[in-house]
Amino acid sequence: MGGSRNTASAQQMGMSTVLLILAVSAAGCGREGPTPQPEEDLQARSERLARESLIVDTHIDVPYRMQEEPEDISKRTEGGDFDYPRAVEGGLNAPFMSIYTPADLQETGGSRELADSLIEMVEGFEERWPDKFSVARSPEDVRADFQAGRISLPMGMENGAPIGDDLANLAYFHDRGISYITLTHGKSNRISDSSYDEERVWKGLSPFGRQVVEEMNRLGIMIDISHVTDEAFFQVLDLTRAPVIASHSSCRSFTGDWERNMSDEMIRRLGENGGVIHINFGSAFLTQEAWEYSEAMWDAVGEYRDEHGLAEGDPAVETFTEEYRKKHPQVLADVSDVVDHVDHAVELAGIDHVGLGSDFDGVGPSTPTGLKDVSFYPNLIRHLLERGYSEADIRKILGGNTLRVWSAVERIAAELLDGD
């Protein structure tokens, strides 16, 4: 009996040692490990974190949405994914307003004019509702707005086409409040090849695109590598002196070989650069099944456009797309799929190199179950807590990492200016 008791005691001591080692290992990885909690405590904790944290989302397509269907976003709107009441409910503090120009305008003209008009629209939000919104041009502006209880509206330009072939336009748009530029979009432009374009004009960056990277470093504009080809990505990272961002991309390992998402090698390299991948919430970016549905739908839409000679945004194209979705119900991801991408990116690049770039108002009705609009950030936080992320690391994902990169880009620009 005595021997059995000693053996049991030794086993208990051994198990305690194992548990201690596991706890220390989890802490070292920045994860607390799943902790059973009462349902209401976990919900309350998620809501508190949403209120107290500075939440930055690097890609929300409100301006282009509003250009097509103007609404009063100071009030709850019937359409779209963003308005002031829902942003307050979700704890969203700094949604980057996407100044998006369609690739079609690269051929017909009008990219710069559209970009200017969308910037004016965002400035108008502040002018109409100064107690609710404030245009933010720096991380300091974002923090000041957070303290004052206003929602910051930093701006990012999606598609570098408005730059044309004139480097001076970079300074022009920076002065207008553009804090990052997505080098290209749906088609290759004067700066870079696009991951969506089968024709690779430049085999990565153009000669002008290389100058654009250097000038963006000099001015303190964040370089956004979402939408570029793999070749362009690696060329950017070889050239840049500052960390870069992917403003709205997810992990390719979940979606086959889809180049619009980032490969494991790219995510690791982005981490080594000091940059941040901001996870896109669109279902096609998250699961293979949703991506295959999206591919089939956009193939059908493309054939319809070509058959009728229609441009992107034409009402007839919108009607066709709606009818397609009625006949073929949308395949949706779940909020847990977003967290799977966060987990994967953290494993590859580290906790300091992952953020959020929802693409709200840009991915239509394909947002995941449990993460349908800007009021749902607390639900995302809850899932991160359930996965064992610490509150400190959740704050990094929610916005701390993005603000760190933005500050670093501005600091490096100041150092380059001093060196001139």
Domain count, the chain: 2
Report the predicted TM-score, pTM, of the whole model to 2 decimal places: 0.89
Same domain, 166 and 75: yes
Q: Is residue 18 part of a domain?
A: no
247: which residues sit within 8 A by CB, 6+ positions away? 58, 59, 96, 156, 158, 180, 182, 224, 226, 278, 357
Same domain, 244 and 318: no
Same domain, 342 and 317: no
Among 301, 330, 359, residue at a domain's last position: 330
Q: What pLDDT score does 32 carry?
A: 54
Same domain, 312 and 281: no
* Encoded amino acid at 248, one letter: H
Q: What pLDDT score does 38 carry?
A: 59
DSSP state letter for 98: E
Q: Is residue 311 part of a domain?
A: yes
**Residue showing tokens 């005691």:** 9
Q: Quick one: which of 182, 185, 94 has its CA closest to 134?
A: 94
Cα separations (Å) of 215 from 192, 231, 276, 284?
15, 20, 20, 34
Cα separations (Å) of 120 from 61, 99, 247?
15, 10, 22
Give, for all 420 residues of the chain, the pLDDT tens digit.
333 333 333 333 343 433 333 333 343 344 555 555 556 599 999 999 999 999 999 999 999 999 988 999 999 999 999 999 999 999 999 999 999 999 999 989 999 999 999 999 999 999 999 999 999 999 999 999 999 999 999 999 999 999 999 999 999 999 999 999 999 999 999 999 999 999 999 999 999 999 999 999 999 999 999 999 999 999 999 999 999 999 999 999 999 999 999 999 999 999 999 999 999 999 999 999 999 999 999 899 999 999 999 987 789 999 999 999 999 999 999 999 999 999 999 999 999 999 999 999 999 999 999 999 999 999 999 999 999 999 999 999 999 999 999 999 999 999 999 876
Same domain, 360 and 300: no
**Residue showing tokens 């000091």:** 274
Give residue 302's domain range. Answer: 292-330
Q: Is residue 2 part of a domain?
A: no
Same domain, 92 and 124: yes
C-alpha to C-alpha distance for 304 and 290, rounded to whole angstroms = 21
Same domain, 108 and 138: yes
Same domain, 92 and 167: yes
C-alpha to C-alpha distance for 76 and 82, rounded to whole angstroms = 9
Same domain, 344 and 398: yes
Q: Is residue 5 part of a domain?
A: no
Q: Is residue 378 part of a domain?
A: yes
Q: Is residue 22 part of a domain?
A: no
Q: Is residue 250 part of a domain?
A: yes
Among 330, 351, 383, residue at a domain's last position: 330
Among 300, 330, 360, residue at a domain's last position: 330
C-alpha to C-alpha distance for 420 and 412, rounded to whole angstroms = 13
Same domain, 143 and 209: yes
Same domain, 218 and 266: yes
Q: What pLDDT score does 40 carry?
A: 57
Q: Is residue 260 part of a domain?
A: yes
Instruction: Give the burial class of 332: count Cβ atoms within 10 A of its Cβ; 0-12 exposed, 13-18 middle, 19 or more buried.
Output: buried
Helix 377-386 × helix 335-349 angle, to 10°: 60
Same domain, 346 and 380: yes
Three-state SS string across 355-394, please? EECCCECCCHHHCCECCCCHHHHHHHHHHHHHCCECHHHH
CATH number of domain containing 91:
3.20.20.140
**Residue showing tokens 């847990």:** 336
